[in-house]
Amino acid sequence: MTIYFKIIKANFFQFVNGRTFFILLVASIFVAISFIPPPEANYTTMRFGSYIGEYNVQWVGTVGAIMASIFLSFFGFFFVIGSITKDFYTKVGQIIAATQISNFSYLLLKAINNFLVLLAILFIVSATTVVIFFSYNEGHDFNLFTFLKPYIYITVPSIFFIAFLAVIIEIVFPKKVFLQYIVFFFFFCLMLFDTSSSQSPFFLDFFGIKSSTEMMHNQVLKKTDDSRTTLSLGFIAGKKNVNKKIVFDDLNFDSVFILKRSYLALFFLLGLYISSIFFHRFNLDKYEREEVDLVPTQQESAGFQLNAVMVATAPSFKIMPLVFSELLLIVRKNENWVSGLSLIGIVAICFVPIRIAHGYLLPLLWLLQVSSISELILKEKINRAKYLTSTSVNPIGRAFTAKVLSGIILVFSFAVPLIFRYLWQGEFYKILGILFGIVFIVSLSILLGLITKTQKTFEIVFLLLTYCNLNMISGLDYLGAYHDTWDYALIMFFLTFLILSFSYLLKYLRNE
């Protein structure tokens, strides 16, 4: 038991000591503040028709727990996934594979560690919500158990499921990082579907919000005669009517609700056990990784004289050969199914309605390339070649700029058919929106890569931006799909210019 505790402790501090954890922690605090909008705010996060709750402990605790369940499930997954792959590349996994620890025990420890990390973030989020309650309190008393009850029954089980799901997906799709993200992305969207109904199987109430919002809705129906009380969940713009407030009572989390959550926990525990049967246990053959033989068995003559090739050559300071080399590396790394889907998407953009092509197909096509875009600046670190490139002539002006241009050309290539269609219609502000969106995405990838030194941060942000664009959230429309003015294009220009300039400045200051 002591060795298991030490493994969990080591893994936990490996996550907590990372830079990404600090960024996620700070982001969680800011998001937790936005979960409970101030009374004078022009948006709400939960309403029933035009009704909201008074800022008592029941309303603040329940809304905070529901929003935290969704937020931590989405971002928490991308934060904790990849721990098994990290063990493989750091050779820790091979050491563990040589011990007597079973596959299920190792994977269970990984899942428990994921849960503890997310639980630590949840503690900060809930503590922030307590501060918010006292800031916005409308004369109601605070009861700790009443406040914590929604978090215990709604949020804690959700992050428990996510902790296990991250391990299961990583086993089912080893080394397929993009596929892992896509599978979870569609799973997440499916679980959010029809949150207003509790009459669904227990495994579809993943976040625990179907049953809990139904209980809240029943209270609304009892306390008002208004029939327009449809649930709206999310960041909903619009001034709330202060005269339509309801004092919510404690939610009754009955045995049926608890059984649903327990069944889901057993379901993921069983899934972890089944996946442990097929766990590769860090077998290099199953990972299909080619290893270089560092000690050749036989030394053969090179067959040529070195002085025959030592001829003077004129130095070249051209940048385009570097750009083409970067593009070639990206194309060669893409898997066949990604290239196939990309080609189908490019053809579809030529024929589908132009608004669908701009608002749906184009962001999805760019999402397919998230792995290539996210590692533009981290490729040298991953392949251990940064010391070689840093000694080249003008590494920032040539090598770094070549990465930026290769990323822009890559993303631009998928938008060419749409740009020609807008050019034919004379909608030039739409073209500018796409071009600024291209540079914005590449610049954001480089900046986040320089700051966090990991691909995960940009991949999470890019998935969120894509999700918002698919749901037509105009405030996060980075590619100009839902704005028809020159002013918005000008805003994107300045934002993109600032991000790109700061990236160059950061690269120059670090000289890396």
Residue 291 and residue 282: Cα distance in Å, rounded?
14
How many CB atoms are closer than 10 A to CB 27? 16
From first CA to last CA, the distance across the chain in angstroms is 44
What are the phi and psi torsion angles at 43 (to 5°)?
-150, 165
- Give the CA distances from residue 31 to residues 241, 313, 452, in Å, rounded to whole numbers and listed in that order: 23, 57, 19
List residues bridging with 233 in a β-sheet: 46
How many CB atoms are closer than 10 A to CB 30? 9
Residue 258 and residue 264: Cα distance in Å, rounded?
10
Q: Are 171 and 104 in contact (CB under 8 A)?
A: no
Going by C-alpha positions, the residue among 188, 130, 201 that lies closest to residue 162 is: 188
- The answer on 225 and 95 residing in a single domain is yes
- The pLDDT, as a whole number, for residue 294 is 36
Classify residue 315: in a domain, yes or no: no
- The answer on 149 and 10 residing in a single domain is yes
Classify residue 199: in a domain, yes or no: yes
Going by C-alpha positions, the residue among 153, 376, 178, 377 that lies closest to residue 251 is: 153
- The strand pair at 52-53 and 245-246 is best described as parallel
The gap from C-alpha 370 to its chain's centroid, in whole angstroms, comes to: 11
How much of the chain is helix, strand and coil, in % rounded to 5? 70, 5, 30
- The answer on 451 and 500 residing in a single domain is yes
Domains identified in the chain, total number: 2
- The pLDDT, as a whole number, for residue 203 is 56
- The answer on 59 and 200 residing in a single domain is yes
Residue 380 and residue 387: Cα distance in Å, rounded?
8
Q: Are 440 and 496 in contact (CB under 8 A)?
A: yes
- The strand pair at 43-48 and 52-53 is best described as unpaired
Residue the block writes with tokens 């669908």: 356
Residue the block writes with tokens 């890559």: 410
Element (H, E) at 234: strand 231-237
Classify residue 295: in a domain, yes or no: no
- The answer on 338 and 276 residing in a single domain is no
- The answer on 329 and 258 residing in a single domain is no
Classify residue 311: in a domain, yes or no: no
Tokens of 139: 């004369």
Classify residue 152: in a domain, yes or no: yes
Quote the domain boundaries for residue 382. Answer: 320-510
Classify residue 118: in a domain, yes or no: yes
- The answer on 381 and 260 residing in a single domain is no
- The answer on 442 and 335 residing in a single domain is yes
Sign of CA dihedral 210, 215, 221, 226: negative
User: At 184, is the secondary structure helix, strand, or coil?
Assistant: helix
Tokens of 105: 């025990």
Residue 390 and residue 380: Cα distance in Å, rounded?
10
Residue 371 and residue 259: Cα distance in Å, rounded?
39
Classify residue 294: in a domain, yes or no: no
Tokens of 423: 């050019």
Element (H, E) at 266: helix 255-277
Residue 429 and residue 425: Cα distance in Å, rounded?
11
- The answer on 256 and 160 residing in a single domain is yes
User: At 39, is the secondary structure helix, strand, or coil?
Assistant: coil
Residue the block writes with tokens 């996946």: 275
* pTM exceeds cut of 0.75: no
Please give, one letter per residue, the 3-state secondary structure of 91-160: CHHHHHHCCCCCHHHHHHHHHHHHHHHHHHHHHHHHHHHHHHHHHHCCCCCCCHHHHHHHHHHHHHHHHH
Residue 34 and residue 105: Cα distance in Å, rounded?
39
Going by C-alpha positions, the residue among 286, 18, 273 that lies closest to residue 168 is: 273
Going by C-alpha positions, the residue among 339, 329, 481 that lies closest to residue 407 is: 329
List residues bridging with 184 in a β-sheet: none
Classify residue 306: in a domain, yes or no: no
- The answer on 223 and 352 residing in a single domain is no
Residue the block writes with tokens 């900046």: 447
Residue 496 and residue 218: Cα distance in Å, rounded?
47
* Single residue among 234, 263, 287 that ends a domain in this structure: 287
Burial 273-292 (b: 16+ CB within 10 A, else e): eebbeebbebeeeeeeeeee
- Burial of residue 37 (CB within 10 Å: 0-12, 13-18, 19+) is buried
- The answer on 355 and 283 residing in a single domain is no
- The answer on 403 and 468 residing in a single domain is yes
Q: Are 512 and 504 in contact (CB under 8 A)?
A: no
Going by C-alpha positions, the residue among 453, 271, 255, 479 that lies closest to residue 359 is: 479
pLDDT means over runs of 10, the chain (512 residues): 76 75 78 81 81 86 89 86 82 81 89 92 90 82 89 92 92 81 82 55 71 85 80 70 75 84 90 88 56 42 51 62 79 74 85 86 85 78 60 67 87 90 86 89 88 80 79 76 77 88 82 58
